[in-house]
Amino acid sequence: LEYLSFAVFGVGIWQARLVSEFAGLTSVVLLALGTRRVAGDLAGLVAGALLATNYVYVMYNRAAIMEATMVACMVASWYCYVRAQERAVWGLAAGVLALLAFFTKAAAAFFVGALGLEAVLAWLLARNRPSAESRRAALAVIAGMTLGGLVALAAFVAPNWTEYRFYNWQMSVTR
């Protein structure tokens, strides 16, 4: 995304910050829309306003660091999971976006695990007829995570296994 920003607008500080700023704005909008779907218009408006005016969040989103993109992928994944309760196909996007958050920054591993666990539990516990869409949504999330994981494994991890293993071992275990 940074490369795209530099290629389109040239190299500079505002171009470097553009990706984080766009990610922050996107996460505010998607949080508001997802909360609106779950809890109503007022709750969505309040959630979006609270995130948009949170000093620390705003400062992170203007600093050109990877956390903003990681969080935007996590919020987009959650939003898609909320939408998947009505149309299961959104679950595929939720799973893929969760993995994108992880591959943006490995600190999102907790989110991948939490979303996967939620999907498995939703699938196992939703046995009655009104929850049929929840089961389909859960399966779609698991499918999205699986497909996204296979693509990441084939395109990124396997060709760069030595570097990938070294980095993750150094950052996760020996540190």
DSSP at 153:
I
Place of tokens 């991948």: 112
76: Cβ contacts below 8 Å, ≥ 6 apart? 26, 27, 30, 93, 97
Average the pLDDT over each of 35-49, 55-69, 145-159 and give the range with the smallest value: 55-69
Cα separation, 104 vs 145, whole angstroms: 15
Residue with tokens 């920054």: 105
Instruction: Answer whether residue 121 shows pLDDT above 70.
Output: yes
Q: Which pLDDT value is given to residue 157?
A: 87
pLDDT exceeds cutoff 80 at 173? no
Let me know the angle formed at the C-alpha of 172 by 167 and 173, rounded to the nearest 5 degrees. 105
Q: How confident is the model at residue 172 (pLDDT cuts 50, 70, 90)?
A: low
The pLDDT, as a whole number, for residue 50 is 93
